């Protein structure tokens, strides 16, 4: 590939950076972590737009311009890597991030003024290869250790980092003992690698911007969907969330399992708490009961606020007596832990008890039927004096 073709690819990279900047500017979110990532991406694409300098630089000055301008582009690539970390939920201290981003650019800027062409060519390849490999390892570590399903865009970013790393490692290996001549565009690669390397640089900014744009939109959609399934006051599942996650829980049960128990829980005399202390204190009681229940449930159980002061637990059975044992334990721990709430300038301690109704889901019957039977058992517990458990028998 000729020199002018590489410079044309650089110009395309600069134009792609501006388009990527426009895409990222369009994203709106209040999520702090995504907002930090967006800020880093904007700064990165702004730096990478420095590739456009090739459009206004005379050929005779191209080598001199690139010996200094490549540092700005290196800063942009480092900021992209920092943005990947933020998007993955990995916090980088501000001082460390700035040191790496500004340091990589400054190193190439300074090296461009004092090093020989051979040493500077090697420095460029070494710095960019280090950024690329570091990004690949960090992105791979985050994705592979995650217990949650990852978005397709995150794997696409990993694949992009892999290609970028592979390319610059080969460029570094070629630059290590290549005697020259050294091209003014600083992309020193064998003939067979020159074309894909230049095209990779041309496509990198716009490709990353498109992948990041799609990934962030997927993340925001997931957040909205999660909020629609969660209760605003307590943070646990809402009734809608219980139905959606509950169906998944039922579908995941093996054929030889004992099934799933439904616990319907109601806070006793909750209306009198609101009437006596006010709704803010009532909200504190709801959050308090939620915390106590959450702390004493197994990880495989689902807890939801079914409505008002009523909660529901879906409990996969490990033994026939599980439901009765768990329901009684929940009743006891709630009774043993009163709620301490603030009322104006003073605090109040409120004794809280719960009533629990227990039913069992039949494989051939809908979930709503089991919820209805659990609610009927809850009614029996309240009619019998409250602060007790009423359970149907498990048919094995």
The string of pLDDT tens digits covering residues 52-107 is 999 999 988 888 888 878 999 999 999 999 998 888 878 889 999 999 999 999 99
The answer to whether 379 and 282 have CB atoms below 8 angstroms apart is no
pLDDT at 149: 62
Of the candidate ranges 127-131, 161-165, 175-179, 373-377, the one whose mean pLDDT is the lowest: 175-179
Does the predicted TM-score (pTM) go above 0.75? no
* Cα–Cα distance, 261 to 395 (Å, whole number): 12
List Cβ neighbours of 265 (8 Å cut-off, separation of 6 or more): 293, 310, 311, 312, 313, 330, 354, 355, 356, 378
Average pLDDT over residues 334-349: 86
pLDDT at 1: 39
Average pLDDT over residues 164-193: 90
pLDDT at 2: 44
Mean pLDDT of the chain: 89
* Cα–Cα distance, 50 to 339 (Å, whole number): 60
**pLDDT tens per residue, range 229-259:** 788 899 899 988 888 888 888 888 887 788 8
DSSP structure class, residue 230:
B
DSSP structure class, residue 181:
-
Q: What is the CA radius of gyration of the chain?
A: 30
pLDDT at 10: 94
Tell whether the model's pLDDT for residue 228 goes beyond 80. Answer: no
pLDDT at 60: 87
Highest mean pLDDT out of 17-26, 177-186, 211-220: 17-26
Distance (Å) of CA 151 to CA 5, 20, 232, 324? 35, 20, 26, 40
* Cα–Cα distance, 280 to 275 (Å, whole number): 11
Average pLDDT over residues 189-210: 92
Q: Using a pLDDT cut of 70, give the percent of the chain over it.
A: 96
Of the candidate ranges 55-69, 118-132, 155-169, the one whose mean pLDDT is the lowest: 55-69
Distance (Å) of CA 297 to CA 46, 73, 258, 327, 387? 50, 52, 18, 10, 19
* Cα–Cα distance, 246 to 260 (Å, whole number): 10
Confidence of residue 304 (pLDDT cuts 50, 70, 90): very high
Tell whether the model's pLDDT for residue 341 goes beyond 80. Answer: yes
Tell whether the model's pLDDT for residue 224 goes beyond 90. Answer: no
CA quadruple 278, 282, 285, 291: dihedral sign = negative
3-class secondary-structure state, position 78: helix
**Helix intervals (H) in the chain:** 3-26, 32-48, 62-87, 94-114, 117-145, 152-176, 191-228, 239-251, 270-277, 279-295, 322-336, 367-383
Tell whether the model's pLDDT for residue 4 goes beyond 80. Answer: no
């Amino acid at each position: 590939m000729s020199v002018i073709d590489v410079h044309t690819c650089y110009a395309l990279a600069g134009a792609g950076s501006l388009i990527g900047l426009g895409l990222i500017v369009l994203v709106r979110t209040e999520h702090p972590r995504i907002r930090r990532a967006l800020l880093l991406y904007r700064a990165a694409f702004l730096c990478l737009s420095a590739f456009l300098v090739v459009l206004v630089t005379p050929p005779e000055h191209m080598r001199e311009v690139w010996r200094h301008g490549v540092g700005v582009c290196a800063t942009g690539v480092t900021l992209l890597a920092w943005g990947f970390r933020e998007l993955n939920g990995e916090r980088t201290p501000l001082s460390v991030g700035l040191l790496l981003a500004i340091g990589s650019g400054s190193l190439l800027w300074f090296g461009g003024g004092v090093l020989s062409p051979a040493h500077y060519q090697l420095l460029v390849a070494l710095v960019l290869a280090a950024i690329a490999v570091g990004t690949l390892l960090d992105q791979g570590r985050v994705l592979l250790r995650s217990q949650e399903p990852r978005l397709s865009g995150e794997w696409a970013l990993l694949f992009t980092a892999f290609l970028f790393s592979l390319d610059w490692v080969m460029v570094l290996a070629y630059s290590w003992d290549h005697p020259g001549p050294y091209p003014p565009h600083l992309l020193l690669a064998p003939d067979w690698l020159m074309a894909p390397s230049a095209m990779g640089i041309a496509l990198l900014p716009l490709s990353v911007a498109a992948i990041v744009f799609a990934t962030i939109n997927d993340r925001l959609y997931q957040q909205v969907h999660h909020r629609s399934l969660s209760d605003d006051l307590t943070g646990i599942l809402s009734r809608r969330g219980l139905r959606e996650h509950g169906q998944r829980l039922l579908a995941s049960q093996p054929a030889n399992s004992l099934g799933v128990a439904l616990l319907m829980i109601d806070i006793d005399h909750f209306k009198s708490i609101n009437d006596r202390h006010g709704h803010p204190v009532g909200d504190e009681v709801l959050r308090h009961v939620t915390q106590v229940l959450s702390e004493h449930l197994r990880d495989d159980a689902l807890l939801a606020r079914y409505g008002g002061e009523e909660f529901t637990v879906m409990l996969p059975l490990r033994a026939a007596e599980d439901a009765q044992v768990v329901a009684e334990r929940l009743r006891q721990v709630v009774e043993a832990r009163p709620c301490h709430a603030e009322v104006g300038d003073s605090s109040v301690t409120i004794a809280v008890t719960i009533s629990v109704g227990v039913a069992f889901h039949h494989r051939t019957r809908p979930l709503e039927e089991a919820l209805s039977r659990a609610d009927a058992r809850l009614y029996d517990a309240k009619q019998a004096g409250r602060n007790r458990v009423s359970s149907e028998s498990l048919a094995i």
